[in-house]
Structure 1
Amino acid sequence: MAFPIYGIGVAVVVIVAGLYRLLQVGKRDRHMPPGLPTLPVIGNLHQIPITGLYKQEKRKVISHTFSPKQLDEKHYKVQEAESTVLMANLLEKPGDFYCQIKWYTASVAASIMFGQRGATPDDFWARWTEAMEPGANPPVDEFPLLKIIPSSLAAWKRRAISAGEVMDNVWGKARRIIDERRARGERRNCIIDNLLDEYKNKGSPFTEHSFNNLMGEVVEGGADTTSAQLLTLPECFALPNLMSHVSSAAFAQARLRPGSSSAQVAQICPPPYYATWRCQE
């Protein structure tokens, strides 16, 4: 009986020693400076973020791209050119005000980022807005358990996935157009060309998918939110003036109605002042 008891005692000692040694794995060495508390075995592994790894690089790219110096010296030229086109289009098609504003903001953002003007807005913006409007999605950040609901039972998940696929296709296609243009030896003075040249020499901190989405995020921010503001401002500024100057409003309406000729437009804003602020003088 002595041998089994002795064997059990040895086994207990070995198990305790093994557990103690295991619990020391991941513990901060006493020779190291103080730092964040650790957990047994995994150490600080649980404190390494699994998302948001590109936030700093994204912030760096965007802050440099839209610094006051860049805006004052480069980007304003694109805005002036596109605003001239916008005003000319509004004089010809005043009834198409909503789409023209959408086109203007998307074209400015696309020209600055991709070096090419934007096309007429299509149903992509409708699907994107539908997925992002207030109330479209439940508060999954506040209640993480909502994330485990399968897509088959959550229409908001299916809508978000569909919008994400549309975005991936749009920005993936934009990147392919850029790559084909650059393969022909055509380089333009735009953000994506500058970044691709830089990353070609020192390596890219992003995956191709992340980089494409970053460029797309900037276009979205410059197009969708800006157009919403521009579509609201005329109501804030124009309506009080129109109420105060009814005769002037009737005069302008008679000459800017759909189908008005260029001769009628010229009575209000004669050449060469089309689409410039000088026609207000």
Structure 2
Amino acid sequence: MGLLDTATLVYLAVAGFLVLLMARLAQIGRRPSDLPPGPPTLPLLGNLHLMPTKDPHLQFQKWAQEYGPVYSLMLGAKTMVVLSSDVAVKEVLDRRSGIYSDRPDMFIGQTVASGGLRLVVMRYGDNWRMIHKMVHNILNIKAATTYVPYQDLENKILLEALLDEPKDLLLHIRRFTYSLSTQMIFGYRCVSNRDPNLLQLFHCFDKWGQVAGSASAQIADLYPILQKLPSWIAPNVSHARKLHVVERDLYVRHWMRAKRALDDGTGLPCFCNDIYRAQTEEKFTDAAAGYISGSLLEAGSDTTASTLYGFILALLLWPDVQTKLQAEIDAVVGPDRLPDISDFDSGKLPYVRCCIKESLRWMPTVVLGVPHAATRDDVYQGWRIPQGATVINNVWSIHMDEKRTPHPRIFDPDRFAGDKTSLYQSAIGDTTKRDNFVFGAGRRLCQGIHIAERSLFLGIARFSWAFTFTKTPGAVYNPEKLVGSITVQPEEFPCIVTPRSAAKAEMIRQAAAQDRTQLDPKTGQWRTVPAGMAFSTWMPDEKEAGKT
């Protein structure tokens, strides 16, 4: 009888444990009542089964319309909070930036595919702060104004290239933004739109975005036990590792070229001077230095190129915008000179400024922002945002909010008539009047915003002064067809690029030829850095050179 009692007790204990375990498991995926509202959940999965694999910005927009400007998604045991209004982004990510400056763990995208070194998704901490301070020194508003000679030359060469090979529109734009970035970061120009390094950069960044944003990457973050699986069971991990090897080789190759030039005294002042100095002090590896410089190369090359490409698509779809732009430029600039940065500073081309703002709003290149993470529990409008939650800046939904922007899929620069703010002033000003949310928020606001605005001004103003862009007969243009992943742009489209006059075409060639006199005729590189650049002139001494 005593034996039976013992067996019964064991049975009851096991049964009780299983009941408790099942009850605990049943709570996984369930939305606690104090979290923001969201779609119905399933046990264990939460909303994981609802996560879109294609055009996620459209589904996130639908959820915002259904559940409000702040809603939550339960992804297994983890929480995602989606901010879909300008006020919510301001209140949470800007005003409470001390809580939301972190990034969520990204096992595939950061740890595996980036070696833990990619700046845009780097966790907040001492290393990020050190890099952020270093970047601020060369990208603040005073420094940004000194890089205009680089922007001016590369833009003129872009215009000349469009005269010679108009069908290579996207490649020419990418070379423009990429070469501007390589000069600032590494001290050398990209002279061909088919430079293997240029093509590899855009290819690798696109592939990284696909890997980092894939469903398998999200599942690996939600269920860390999966991160320990052997690679033959998790082919996505093997693919990410191979991508990292290729990308690391590209970035370190860029870095080492600049580093060797600084060692032997042939390098021109550039951002790598600052990285090299920091490396001698902090003792980080060449791989880390490569990713610091490579992350800036990604940021400087991708977003501005995609925005200019989207702007040209808008001109094809709304030719009246092009007519109005050309009329303003003709009246202010005239036929005898190219628009230049003084026209930006004078504010006498307000419609060009409006086109910059509307291009960023209408075709945002980062539709769901880059995710933030809460470092502690917080409360917003009575809803709890738990520590560790991923927080999304739902850029597309904010830009396409009918109440904020009537008829949002119409490209209408006049929305911003009378708005004289710079992109940075708008980003830190009245959030209900903020022109776009592409550049992020809080301490993670993109520091390249000042340079991007000047590049966009020169691109839009000079494109409109020099050329007329028209549709190719019979071609189909779909502005809703976006390609990419974490960053997007319009699907490639055909375009007829016609010089507005033979005189303007000749003026472009003369301007490009004049600027080339500052370059070495054999290499196409600057002989000396233009005066006034904000780069550090620090150089390694003999003890430091090559020793890090």
Q: Same fold (TM over 0.5)?
A: yes
**Superposition pairs of residues 256-267 of structure 1, within 5 angstroms:** 267=502
Distance 2:243 2:207 in 1: 9
Of 223, 229, 235, which aligns to 1:155? 235
SS of the residue 1:151 aligns to: coil
Q: Does 1:80 align with 2:80?
A: no
Task: Return the alpha-carbon distance in structure 2 between the equivalents of residues 85 and 154 of structure 1.
Answer: 46
Once the two structures are overlaid, the 10-residue window that deviates more, 113-122 or 190-199, is 190-199
Equivalent of residue 211 in structure 1, options 271, 289, 304: 289
Report the counterpart of residue 199 of structure 2 in structure 1.
122
231, 243, 262: which one pairs with 1:182?
Answer: 262
* Structure 1 stretch displaced more, 145-154 or 94-103: 145-154
Q: Secondary structure at the match of 2:225?
A: helix
2: distance between equivalents of 1:274 and 1:251?
22
The answer as to whether partners of 2:259 and 2:272 remain within 8 angstroms in 1 is no
Asked whether the 8 Å contact 1:90–1:97 carries over to 2, the reply is yes
Call closer, same or farther: CA 1:230–1:251 in 2, change over 3 Å. closer
Q: 1:131: which partner in 2?
A: 208
Amino acid at match of 2:183: S
Change (3 A) 1:53 1:155: farther
Q: What does residue range 34-183 of structure 1 map to in structure 2 within 5 Å?
A: 53-72=126-145, 74-118=146-190, 120=195, 121-133=198-210, 134-135=213-214, 137-139=216-218, 140-183=220-263
Cα distance change of structure 1 residues 170 and 205 upon mapping to structure 2, 3 Å threshold: same
AA paired with 2:299?
Answer: G
Q: CA deviation at 1:249?
A: 6.0
TM-score (norm 2): 0.35
Distance 1:174 1:56, change over 3 A: same
Rg: which structure is higher? 1
Q: How far is the alpha carbon of 1:235 from its aligned partner?
A: 1.1
Residue deviations 1:3-60 (CA, integer Å, cap 9, x gap) = xxxxxxxxxxxxxxxxxxxxxxxxxxxxxxxxxxxxxxxxxxxxxxx99551111111
Distance 1:244 1:198, change over 3 A: closer
**Do 1:136 and 1:156's aligned partners in 2 also have CA atoms closer than 8 Å?**
no
The SS at the match of 2:221 is: coil
C-alpha separation in 1, matches of 2:275 and 2:131: 12
Q: Is the 8 A contact 2:170 2:309 kept in 1?
A: yes
Query: Can you give the 5+ residue segments of structure 2 that lack an aligned partner in the other structure?
Result: 1-122, 324-466, 473-494, 512-548
Query: Residue type of the partner of 2:159?
Result: M
> Pick from 260, 271, 280: which aligns with 2:506?
271
CA distance in 1, matches of 2:232, 2:126: 30
- The CA deviation at 1:240 is 0.3
Q: CA deviation at 1:207?
A: 2.9
**Alpha carbon RMSD of aligned pairs, Å?**
3.5
- Which one has a larger percent helix, Structure 1 or Structure 2? 1
Change (3 A) 1:144 1:231: farther
Q: What does the per-residue CA deviation read over 1:74-106, in whole Å, with 9 as the maximum and x for residues that have no partner?
A: 222212211111111111111001111221111
Q: Secondary structure, in 3 states, of the residue corresponding to 1:162?
A: helix
**Change over 3 Å in CA distance of 1:268–1:147 after alignment to 2:** farther
Once the 2 structures are TM-superposed, how far is the Cα of residue 243 of structure 1 from its aligned partner?
A: 9.4
**Partner Cα distance (1:197, 1:58) in 2:** 12
Alpha carbons 2:468, 2:500 under 8 Å: kept: no
Task: State the alpha-carbon separation in 2 of the partners of residues 69 and 239 from structure 1.
Answer: 37
Hey, what's the Cα distance between the residues in 1 that align with 2:240 and 2:138? 29
Q: Using the TM superposition, give the Cα deviation of residue 228 of structure 1 relative to its aligned residue in structure 2, in angstroms.
A: 2.2
Q: Using a 3 Å threshold, how does the CA distance of structure 1 residues 69 and 223 change in structure 2: closer, same or farther?
A: same
Matched positions, count: 217
Query: Which structure 1 residue ranges, 5 or more long, are not aligned?
Result: 1-49, 277-281
1:232 aligns with 2:305: no
CA distance in 1, matches of 2:468, 2:294: 40
How far off its partner does 1:107 sit?
A: 1.0
Instruction: State the Cα distance separating 1:132 from its structure 2 match.
Output: 1.0
Q: CA 1:182–1:136 in structure 2 vs 1: closer, same or farther (change >3 Å)?
A: farther
Aligned pairs for 1:26-41 (under 5 A) are none
Structure 1's 191 and 126: CA in aligned 2 closer, same or farther, altered over 3 A?
same
Asked if the contact 1:109–1:223 (Cα under 8 Å) also holds between the matched residues in 2, the reply is yes
Q: Pick the structure with more strand per residue.
A: 2
**Would the aligned equivalents of 2:160 and 2:508 in 1 still touch at CA under 8 Å?**
no
Q: 1:274 Cα shift?
A: 5.0
